[in-house]
Structure 1
Amino acid sequence: MEFNRDHLHDRLISLTPDSVGRYIVAYSGGCDSQVLLHALASLREHLSSPVLAVHVNHGLQEGAEQWAAHCVETCRSLNIPLETITLTLKLQRGESVEEIARNARYGAIRELMHNGDLLLTAHHLDDQAETLLLQLFRGAGLKGMAAMPEAIPFGPGRLVRPLLSFSRSQLEDYGEKHGLSWVEDESNLDPRYDRNFLRNSVMPKLLERWPSVKQTLARSASYCAEAQGEIDRIAADDLATVLNPEDNALSIEGVSALEPARQRSVLCMWIRESGFRAPNSRRINQIQSEVLGAGDDRNPVVSWDAAELRRYRGSLYLMPRLPYPDSSVELAWDGESELELPSGIGVLTKRTGHGGIDGERWRQGVLRVRFRQEGLKCRPAGRGISISLKKLFQEHGVPPWERWRTPLLFIDGELAAIGDLVVCEPFQAKSEEQGEWLVMTRQSRETAF
């Protein structure tokens, strides 16, 4: 079976919703995306929505500008609008160039998308077979072996791969038949990259022995996807029973009651749906053994990539990695303007109302903001005794990871207030008098408390 525009139209009808905002083609200028763009352009009279191409220049290759120029000329000849994005990637030692570039590319394209848009990529049958093998070599589970789905939610729209059932050779035949020109990526020949080694050295040997191996591997990936779909449905039901939607926290008791395999599925689904990349199996096992199994008096943390998972008072919390301010930091404050707190904590302001801190002492005193130090105590207004900050934080239900990030207000060198939680004697205003209250606006995060 040859590839043609009618086959593409059939796949789009099968994979896309009735209402589409725009068809956005991820256009690199290589053969695969060239064929997809050309075939889609020839279908415009059958489409109810406009077609747009987007080219991402990662700035990683010498010929990147020539690639971009080729894309401009092609889109001009096809009368298709082109959006070009230029990225500046910062690579750290030991990081995967491919992964960093891919994540940055998809992130940039996501920013361009509107509600209902479809992002079309030119991944094909050969890519699917290679992806399954790479996942097997990496010891992936079912989700990894399901390889690339044909359609998934993406940003405000969907990501669709309409060419997964067509081989690279079928796309090349289409390109030659229609006289298309494209850019050859020389890096595709570099055997240092796993996919290139697999594509250029391993797959030819497999095809010699098993000519239909690409179709067979793709079929296996589809079976894995079906099985993973069933697992996801069970995990979604389990997640609904253990999740507190108000603070996006999981009940430790509820998760612990599940079988270990279902625990792992729930944890991975919760992490992904919270906007983080799911950790590897070693980290998931660590969460099960060290976090779920920890005593009530323990506050373990498991970190990976940009995420942290913690437990507190019977719940699991997920959040970005939190930087902590130096305990020696001291911020001068005039008591009127907004005070930006360090380490992305947030902003400190004040409001006037009954009670709070005595207005005269507020206006006449020297205000300084510091952060938690060992041994500090406060005499909460009306209680008459000094209480440690740890005890006060516990009383107010402040999780341990937020205690070191809570600003402390000192007036003339004495502790006057603990964030927006407690006013200390002798700084409290009389209940019938107008005083000043601290207002702390915390930086928005995935998880609040």
Structure 2
Amino acid sequence: MTNNSVFSTQLEGSIASFLAAQPPQTSPIHLLLALSGGVDSIVLLHALSQLSARLPFTLSAMHIHHGLSPHADDWLSLCERVCIEKGIPFYSDKVHVNLRSGQGVEATAREARYQALEHMRQQLGAQAIVTAHHMQDQSETLLLQLMRGAGVKGLSAMSVWDAERRLFRPLLQFSKADILQQAHDLQHQWVEDESNTDISFDRNFMRQTAMPVLRERYPQLDNALARSASHMAEAQSLLDSLASQDVLACDVREEWLGQSVDIQRLRQLGDARAKNMLRYWFQQLDLRMPNTEQLQNYWQQLATVKPHRYLHLPLQGQAVQRQAYLHHYQQRLYCVGKPSALPKTPLVWQGGKSQIWGDWQVQFKVSKGRGIALARLGVNPAAITLHKRYGQGVVLSDGLELLLLARSGGESLQPDGKRPRRELKVIFQMLAIPPWQRAFYPLVNVVSSQPSHSQTLVSLASLAIDAAWRPGRNAYGLEISLQPLTTAL
């Protein structure tokens, strides 16, 4: 059997195993190949093109133009031409690489590349992004992670199938020599990135300088490192399994824009298990993993915070613009997103079921015995029936408006007619509303222009209704709730 036949047979087996492991599909699985134009991805493109005639998958390719090389346009042209020749749908995207991000050119370009690929994968409905990482890439990744002081997860390096990120790497079992031999035998055309010789980049230094020396001394280096990465992946699987049990044991609850756990139960796990659980929890919420020093700092504060002390710590989402916080409040640890502030411009209710207010969607629900009494707003029963049955807008009495606006401080309500008015901050405390949520409950005012202009605070969203504006048990009221238009976590 020729080298080409061995390569094709082994790759076909890898692809077939991946396809067989996927959930049943009503149509062939769609794969999106990350096509750089280098020899690795070009060889994989040609091989997948042939295999798509025999295996149940369809193929597209995407090239990411980083704009970092003077030859970037030529690479894009080559990728497009090869795909046209093969009849493979081709896509490209020019991304901006922020050279001042503080993460370095390699990391910043990689993040921009994967964001663009993931966006296209979702647009196409593809089941996986296919990359051309090979055995030597795996070795370099493991050693680079070791140099950075990575833990078990980092030393797991790359897996053939990363279900969380939808990344499929079918060439991890092949060496660079195998790929080059395939490319030369089949006379493929590819590009060479001139930056690959620049050893100021960590990966290039490892590839060009360190690895050749190590391979000369240890000929089986790549196979040995692949085994180590596999062992680490198994160990990480056990740690994740333990962490998932610990999350449940810590009474995880779904919260507004996130989740919470019992801080006392978290402390009872001990330092090592608690930090392992936090890492897993952050990963499940799609947050960027804090480094060892940051995680240790978080844990020291969480382990010593007093029961009634409020504490908040910033976290970073996978996308730079996404922020989240750890909050300690009333013996629970919250991990929640940070939504946009309520708009400064008030919102006037137009009588419908939903309105957009800045970065928020406001829902208006007509309910029996709850919310703001519609009778006080001059709405007759017939209008309520038409609204509930057919969604027709509710019309208030002439001269009345329902106005939503953000709090400014010092406001008060009288939710209980037998007790005096209370400041909103006292009402929040009585209802145990976490401090970080309080800015997102808008004031609801009734504005009257007859017989003279007046403005009356009647509720705090639907959290607290002034007793004079609450409907009777069998009367209808208006409940008001808000949700951010974009998920913060």
Residues 116 and 257 of structure 1: CA distance in aligned 2, closer, same or farther (over 3 Å): farther
Residues 1:403 and 2:438 are matched in the alignment: yes
Residues 14 and 88 of structure 1: CA distance in aligned 2, closer, same or farther (over 3 Å): closer
Instruction: Name the CA distance, whole Å, in 1 between partners of 2:157 and 2:173.
Output: 13
Residues 1:315 and 2:340 are matched in the alignment: no
Instruction: Name the CA distance, whole Å, in 1 between partners of 2:77 and 2:471.
Output: 72
3-state SS of paired residue (1:122) = coil
What is the CA deviation profile of residues 228-280 of structure 1, one whole-angstrom value per residue up to 9, with x for unaligned ones?
Answer: 12212222222232243544322223222212211122111121112222222
- Counterpart of 2:157 (choices 128, 135, 147) is 147
**Quick check: 2:63–2:92 contact (8 Å CA) kept in 1?**
yes
Residues 420 and 230 of structure 1: CA distance in aligned 2, closer, same or farther (over 3 Å): same
What is the CA deviation profile of residues 273-322 of structure 1, one whole-angstrom value per residue up to 9, with x for unaligned ones?
Answer: 12222222223223322234322222211212232222333322222234
Gaps of 5+ in 1: none
3-state SS of paired residue (1:231) = helix
Amino acid at match of 1:27: L
What is the CA deviation profile of residues 308-348 of structure 1, one whole-angstrom value per residue up to 9, with x for unaligned ones?
Answer: 2223333222222344458xx35263564665445x34436
Aligned partner of 1:10 in structure 2 is 13
1:415-430 aligned within 5 A: 415-424=457-466, 428=469
**Quick check: 2:347–2:405 contact (8 Å CA) kept in 1?**
no
What is the CA distance between 1:371 and its match in structure 2?
2.7
- Counterpart of 1:333 (choices 316, 326, 348) is 348
**Quick check: 1:407–1:418 contact (8 Å CA) kept in 2?**
yes
Residues 286 and 383 of structure 1: CA distance in aligned 2, closer, same or farther (over 3 Å): farther
Amino acid at match of 2:414: R
Instruction: Name the CA distance, whole Å, in 1 between partners of 2:148 and 2:429.
Output: 44
3-state SS of paired residue (2:43) = helix
3-state SS of paired residue (1:67) = helix
Amino acid at match of 2:314: S
Aligned partner of 2:138 in structure 1 is 128
Amino acid at match of 1:9: E
Aligned partner of 1:85 in structure 2 is 92
Instruction: Name the CA distance, whole Å, in 2 between partners of 1:320 and 1:419.
Output: 20
Moved more, 332-341 or 287-296: 332-341
1:244-255 aligned within 5 A: 244-247=252-255, 248-255=259-266
Instruction: Name the CA distance, whole Å, in 1 between partners of 2:206 and 2:153.
Output: 21
Aligned partner of 2:107 in structure 1 is 99
Residues 1:263 and 2:274 are matched in the alignment: yes
Residues 94 and 54 of structure 1: CA distance in aligned 2, closer, same or farther (over 3 Å): same
- Using structure 2 for the length normalisation, give the TM-score: 0.80
What is the CA distance between 1:403 and its match in structure 2?
0.2
Amino acid at match of 1:119: I
Instruction: Name the CA distance, whole Å, in 2 between partners of 1:430 and 1:78.
Output: 69
Instruction: Name the CA distance, whole Å, in 1 between partners of 2:97 and 2:366.
Output: 42
Moved more, 278-287 or 353-362: 353-362
Amino acid at match of 2:432: G
What is the CA distance between 1:148 and its match in structure 2?
0.7
Residues 375 and 187 of structure 1: CA distance in aligned 2, closer, same or farther (over 3 Å): same
Aligned partner of 2:377 in structure 1 is 359
What is the CA distance between 1:418 and its match in structure 2?
0.9
Residues 1:386 and 2:421 are matched in the alignment: yes
**Quick check: 2:97–2:109 contact (8 Å CA) kept in 1?**
no
1:198-217 aligned within 5 A: 198-217=206-225
3-state SS of paired residue (1:307) = strand
3-state SS of paired residue (1:311) = strand
What is the CA distance between 1:109 and its match in structure 2?
2.8
What is the CA distance between 1:220 and its match in structure 2?
1.9
Residues 410 and 124 of structure 1: CA distance in aligned 2, closer, same or farther (over 3 Å): same
Moved more, 139-148 or 368-377: 368-377
Amino acid at match of 2:462: D
Instruction: Name the CA distance, whole Å, in 1 between partners of 2:29 and 2:300.
Output: 46
Residues 429 and 300 of structure 1: CA distance in aligned 2, closer, same or farther (over 3 Å): closer
Aligned partner of 1:275 in structure 2 is 286
Amino acid at match of 2:92: I
3-state SS of paired residue (2:327) = strand
Instruction: Name the CA distance, whole Å, in 1 between partners of 2:97 and 2:139.
Output: 31
Number of residues of Structure 1 aligned to a counterpart in Structure 2: 441
3-state SS of paired residue (1:207) = helix
Instruction: Name the CA distance, whole Å, in 2 between partners of 1:325 and 1:115.
Output: 34
Residues 250 and 336 of structure 1: CA distance in aligned 2, closer, same or farther (over 3 Å): same
What is the CA deviation profile of residues 145-195 of structure 1, one whole-angstrom value per residue up to 9, with x for unaligned ones?
Answer: 11111112146xx42212112222221121111111101112222333221
Instruction: Name the CA distance, whole Å, in 1 between partners of 2:456 and 2:307.
Output: 34
Aligned partner of 1:32 in structure 2 is 40
- Counterpart of 1:240 (choices 245, 248, 263) is 248
Aligned partner of 2:319 in structure 1 is none
Instruction: Name the CA distance, whole Å, in 1 between partners of 2:101 and 2:292.
Output: 24
Aligned partner of 2:382 in structure 1 is none
What is the CA distance between 1:33 and its match in structure 2?
0.5
Amino acid at match of 1:146: S
Instruction: Name the CA distance, whole Å, in 2 between partners of 1:66 and 1:360.
Output: 69
Moved more, 384-393 or 176-185: 384-393
Instruction: Name the CA distance, whole Å, in 2 between partners of 1:331 and 1:384.
Output: 30
Residues 292 and 373 of structure 1: CA distance in aligned 2, closer, same or farther (over 3 Å): farther
Residues 1:222 and 2:230 are matched in the alignment: yes
What is the CA distance between 1:130 and its match in structure 2?
1.0
What is the CA deviation profile of residues 341-377 of structure 1, one whole-angstrom value per residue up to 9, with x for unaligned ones?
Answer: 45x3443647476562531597535655433334332
Gaps of 5+ in 2: 23-27, 317-322, 380-395, 447-453
What is the CA distance between 1:392 and its match in structure 2?
1.1
Residues 51 and 442 of structure 1: CA distance in aligned 2, closer, same or farther (over 3 Å): closer
Q: CA RMSD in A?
A: 3.1
Instruction: Name the CA distance, whole Å, in 1 between partners of 2:44 and 2:441.
Output: 54
3-state SS of paired residue (1:309) = strand
Residues 1:53 and 2:56 are matched in the alignment: no
- Using structure 1 for the length normalisation, give the TM-score: 0.86
Amino acid at match of 1:437: L
Amino acid at match of 1:431: G
Amino acid at match of 1:276: L
Instruction: Name the CA distance, whole Å, in 2 between partners of 1:348 and 1:87.
Output: 39
